[in-house]
Structure 1
Amino acid sequence: MADDEDKPKRHTLDTLFHVYCNHKVIPTELDNEVFNSILLSQLDAWLEQAKLMPIPITRVQTGLIYMRYKKWRLNMKIFLRCCNNFAAIPNLTMMNSRKLIAAGPPTGGTDIVVVK
């Protein structure tokens, strides 16, 4: 078991979702606020890092799909539905979690976030 603790941990879709939810957040009056939902700009940044934007997905397409849910921030459950909608875009052969996980944390950082 000690060997397992020494190995670097890999990100999952859940941990990366949490990282991107808190990426480039404008400071608020509340200190140490942690977000569990994602903004459109954060989703766009993730798709860019995954090399899915601007081709085959554009900002207009992400905005239209995102706004279908009529929420300022999307939680994980709605985010997954949103990803399924991206899969219906022509010329997008495969929108799956592997591409999003392979993108890694924003700007190539290696921070691992523990999701409780």
Structure 2
Amino acid sequence: MADDDDKPKKHTLDTLFAVYANHQVIPTEIENEVFDGILLSQLDAWLEQAKLMPNPITRTQTGLIYMRYKKWRLEYEDFLEVLQQLALDNDLGLDEMKQTMLDAGVPSGDTGLVAVK
């Protein structure tokens, strides 16, 4: 009988958030640091992989909404608010948008790096 632990686990939006929040980061002084917030560039990369950017969502839109928070990294709750605002601004269904982001999966093998200070 097959054990459930052997089956690949499916990501949820919050687990993918954690993956993207730690993707393409150059470590600073602290080795193996794990981030619980997402950078604007990481959010944009996720939206691009989900094929939601550059159409219907633009980098200008994400940047303007992101900057309202006046934080370097957004926590998961803030991220959900950003998605809600993007869906509203672009006449997209929020649940469909979240599913599209889930379907995009983990980050592709992009070699670009983001320096974090």
Scaled by the length of structure 2, the TM-score of the pair is 0.85
Equivalence map 1:99-114=2 (5 Å):
99-107=100-108
Offset at residue 27 of structure 1 (A): 1.9
How far apart in 2 are the matches of 1:47 and 1:94? 15
Q: Is 1:98 matched with 2:99?
A: yes
What is the DSSP-based 3-state SS (H/G/I as helix, E as strand, rest coil) of the residue aligned with 1:70? Answer: coil
Corresponding residue for 1:114? none
Structure 1 spans left out of the alignment, 5+ residues: 109-116
Scaled by the length of structure 1, the TM-score of the pair is 0.86
Structure 2 spans left out of the alignment, 5+ residues: 110-117
Percentage of identical aligned residues: 65
Structure 1 residue runs of 4 or more that deviate by more than 2 Å after TM superposition = 92-96
Counterpart residue type for residue 4 of structure 1: D
How far apart in 1 are the matches of 2:92 and 2:34? 34
RMSD between aligned residues: 1.7
Q: Is 1:4 matched with 2:4?
A: yes
How far apart in 1 are the matches of 2:2 and 2:83? 37
How far apart in 2 are the matches of 1:36 and 1:62? 19
How far apart in 2 are the matches of 1:44 and 1:97? 14
